[in-house]
Structure 1
Amino acid sequence: MLSVCVAGATGWTGRPVAEAVLASDDLRLRSAVSRSAAGKDLGEVWGGAANGVPVSGRVDEALDGVDVLVDYTSHDAVLGNVLTAIGRGVSVVIGTSGLGADDFARIDAAAREAGVGVAAAGNFSLTAAMAQAAALLAARYLPNREIIDYAKAGKPDAPSGTARELAERLAEVNTPALQVPIGETSGYAEARGATVAGTQVHSVRLPSFVVSTEVVFALPDERLVIRHDAGSTPAPYVAGTLLAVRAVTGHTGLVRGLDTLLLMRDR
């Protein structure tokens, strides 16, 4: 039985993930991390009966006897949390967005040196994984593309972790060639979006969106649009996160994308 620590266990996604770990037959929720609830019992923090899961204020205080850390915290805390866990020989599942390619390279090197596995996905929903796998396949044959990233008005990071991961993984297939280089754009070059790993990414922040990611591929006289829409609850991310928890200890180094884990499992 794997022992799990959930960082961000009182948060929007962290809580249902922690509840799912508690309810599973093959996982044990050994500890939780929440700065606002440090020193308390997690069940009581949730407003119910005590469940025997201690809450710490920092990740380094919660890793004793833990096999896998699940991080659903914030973009400013996640890198430190992940490197702390790796340094303690604990595998990690990263559900927090905000990390870039350089961060992931650093995480991969540290994980390989420590001999532990790390699984990271901008979106742990199964349908998002399928959309990303389809986009990676399409990119082999359709080199021209742009990404549109939709999220709620109050989302602080841009682009979303889903869109950023998609752009960086598409760069491993090829880099689009722009007919008009960004620097030669007339008017406002910013209107062409941000260049993320060679792909133009446009972030829309408006009420009513949660996270939607659209990649548009095009050839003369034809287009292919692959789009994933997330709903208003964290439910889609729970099953994929638990799948990653169960799989990550069987790997060494970084695995990016739930679709990658799924394909590895099915081979």
Structure 2
Amino acid sequence: MKHATNAAFRRNTRICEVTMSLKVCLAGATGWAGSELARGIAANSDLDLVAAVSRRHAGQPLGTALGDAAITTPVFASAAEALAARCDVFVEYTHPDTARANILAALEHGAHVVVGTSGLSDEDYARIDAVARERGRGVLACGNFALTAVLLIKFSEMAAKILPQWEIIDYAYAGKPDAPSGTVRELATRMGKVRQPRLEVPLEQTKGLRETRGGTLAGSQVHAVRLPGFVLGAETIFGLPDQTLSIRHNAGGSAKPYVDGALLAIRKVSTLTGLHRGLDAVLEL
């Protein structure tokens, strides 16, 4: 009788573990970053990828597009169709022109949302925050899921409280059309909320080519480098008399650096209510 009881307990425990897994819907599941994240979700037993969004691959299993037959997640042409399958967390990894509608639809369906898409406006985020709070759901929007990029921003904020002068370098591949990058925009914006850096020589007093002093973003001077050999990176350089501090993040050519941070966001977003910006919102720093 004791053995039968133990066996039943083990069965019930396994059932509980299955039901405890987070159901995830991933929009942009076949893109550069989304496909790597899809593989990461599928590889973790506490996550269940129940639906994917990709117009090009709609109607077939996700594994067909990713070259992994073990991933049987159905692919839908739109977020509205995919959300018919109930999910706990909706991950938005598509394009700015569809992101807002996808996020609001997910909130209306009762899902928490992780946002990896950049390019949304402050007005977009204000609307998203209002709906999320009304629905009692969390939205975690991250300009960069790479853990080293998250730490770059956090450490730079900490240093800005003590060091009054800095400039930012934005590194990227030669063909990147936007400048600065989304990561550097977030970096400059967050540092600007700490304080405005001091300039020894005001920009209007620059002699020669004023443009060589870079562009001003949220009070910081930003210099964008676009050359072959770089992929994505950012550096904050602080200066004091006879000493400097450099905090730098570099990412390679694959999407792997962004997976661990995105998985962390998926697991933690349900602890939030309303909109939160930056992965450090759920990191114990």
Query: Do they superpose with TM above 0.5?
Result: yes
Kindly state the Cα deviation for residue 26 of structure 1 after the two structures are TM-superposed: 1.0
Contact 1:7-1:34 at 8 Å conserved across structures: yes
Say which of 207, 221, 225 aligns to 2:246.
225
Q: TM-score, normalised by structure 2?
A: 0.84
Structure 2 residue 163 is the aligned partner of structure 1 residue 170: no
| Structural mapping, 1:107-146, within 5 Å | 107-146=128-167
Kindly state the Cα deviation for residue 211 of structure 1 after the two structures are TM-superposed: 0.9
The answer for the alignment partner of 2:234 in structure 1 is 213
Structure 2 residue 67 is the aligned partner of structure 1 residue 31: no
The answer for the alignment partner of 2:5 in structure 1 is none
Say which of 78, 85, 98 aligns to 1:58.
78
The answer for the alignment partner of 2:182 in structure 1 is 161
Change (3 A) 1:192 1:102: farther
Of residues 74-83 and 236-245 in structure 1, the stretch that sits farther from structure 2 once superposed is 74-83
Kindly state the Cα deviation for residue 141 of structure 1 after the two structures are TM-superposed: 0.7
Partners of 1:92 and 1:192 in 2: CA distance: 39
Partners of 1:151 and 1:99 in 2: CA distance: 21
Structure 2 residue 253 is the aligned partner of structure 1 residue 241: no
Change (3 A) 1:189 1:71: farther
The answer for the alignment partner of 2:172 in structure 1 is 151
Q: Secondary structure at the match of 1:61?
A: helix
**% same residue:** 54
- 1:42-99 CA-to-partner distances (Å, cap 9, x unmatched) read 1112234374312122222212302211122234433333233234332111222334
Change (3 A) 1:50 1:223: closer
| Structural mapping, 1:248-267, within 5 Å | 248-263=269-284
The answer for the alignment partner of 2:39 in structure 1 is 19
The answer for the alignment partner of 2:66 in structure 1 is 46
| Count of residues in Structure 1 that have an aligned counterpart in Structure 2 | 264
What code does the residue aligned with 2:245 have? L
Kindly state the Cα deviation for residue 229 of structure 1 after the two structures are TM-superposed: 0.7
What code does the residue aligned with 1:31 have? A
Kindly state the Cα deviation for residue 184 of structure 1 after the two structures are TM-superposed: 4.9
| Structural mapping, 1:94-105, within 5 Å | 94-105=115-126
Contact 1:72-1:95 at 8 Å conserved across structures: yes
Q: Secondary structure at the match of 1:77?
A: helix
Partners of 1:4 and 1:240 in 2: CA distance: 15
- 1:142-194 CA-to-partner distances (Å, cap 9, x unmatched) read 12222111111222332212111111111221122334444554554443333
Q: Secondary structure at the match of 2:67?
A: coil
Partners of 2:29 and 2:195 in 1: CA distance: 38
Partners of 2:121 and 2:243 in 1: CA distance: 32
Change (3 A) 1:52 1:219: same
Unaligned runs of 5+ in 1: none
Q: Secondary structure at the match of 2:261?
A: helix
Which aligned segments of 4 or more residues in structure 1 are displaced greater than 6 angstroms?
none
The answer for the alignment partner of 1:201 in structure 2 is 222
Change (3 A) 1:119 1:203: same
Q: TM-score, normalised by structure 1?
A: 0.89
Change (3 A) 1:87 1:219: farther
